[in-house]
Amino acid sequence: MIFFTGFLIGVVSLIPGISGGTILVIMKKYDEVAKAISNIKQKGNKVFILKLILGVILGTITFARIIELLFYFIPNYTLLLFSGFVLFSVPELFHSEKIKPNLFWFVIGTIIIFMLSSISINPTHVIIDYPKITILFLIYFAFCGMIDGFFTILPGISGSMIMMILGPYFLYKSFLANLNFGTLIFILPLIFYLVGDMLGFYLGSKFSLYFLKKHRIPFMSLIVGMVLMSSLIIIPFNFLDISKSLIYIIILILSYIIVQFLNLITK
């Protein structure tokens, strides 16, 4: 199950607006993963994290090209599917925590995501010219990976969205989507990105675990607010066509079925 969870994180990490941490919450693995990463020196935790990382890598590599094609041919349908996937997971978040949310921190969570989304860049940008691979570029790319990893573990805050704001998201996605035997030069920056990503993931888990222990109700209220707003801001309202309402309903039903399936296998 942890490998499958990592696989899902790898898939959604390519989609601006959805956090890998949100998947951990949905799959009821957030506390477990945060504790394992924070205490990675223990032998059992090393195996646990290795399975998670392998799942993330496989999910990212497997779906990089698929996500690229989906956003090229049916971007609105794709965004709506994932939006529904997150939105229908919110009630389960309330139910699984069995606590009364703090309204103040819930609202703060929605505001944070709204403000981040308001300065994000158009996700349809295509990379044509690639930068020269230098030591400085590799260090920069590793630093970007660290930032991505830090925010990926935080539910509601999309690492991809942060990367879009800072700039390197499209380059990273293009490296992945076009990786083949003729472009092995892409492997080096991706390795540096991955190392930075794992470091950021570790730091983010330490940060999360502290607040889960010391301030669980405010922190979880903040998370639920972020998750809810994340599901809303990725819906392409400006491009939805009312004549295709039936298709949109079918997509939302599909996302609901996916959520119910995930809830079933995680019980």
Q: What is the residue extent of each domain of the chain?
A: 2-265
Quickly state the pLDDT bin for 150 (edges 50, 70, 90).
confident
Average pLDDT estimate for 222-238: 78
Percent of the chain with pLDDT over 90: 7
Rounded Cα distance, 66 and 68, in Å: 5
Q: How many CB atoms lie within 10 A of CB 250?
A: 12
Higher-confidence position of 137 and 236 = 137
C-alpha 194 chain-centroid distance:
15
Please count the CA atoms within 13 angstroms of the CA of 238 that sit on its side-chain side.
2
What's the mean pLDDT when you consider all of the chain?
A: 79
* Model confidence, pTM: 0.66
Task: Convert the pLDDT of each residue in 71-92 to its tens digit.
Answer: 778 878 888 888 888 788 777 6
Per-residue confidence (pLDDT) for residue 181, from 0 to 100: 54
Instruction: Answer whether residue 44 shows pLDDT above 60.
Output: yes
Looking from the CA of 165 toward its CB, the CA atoms found within 13 Å total 17
For residue 98, the 8-state DSSP code is T
Distances in Å between the alpha carbon of 120 and those of 17, 101, 161, 169, 239? 10, 28, 7, 11, 17
Check whether 5 has a pLDDT greater than 60. Answer: yes
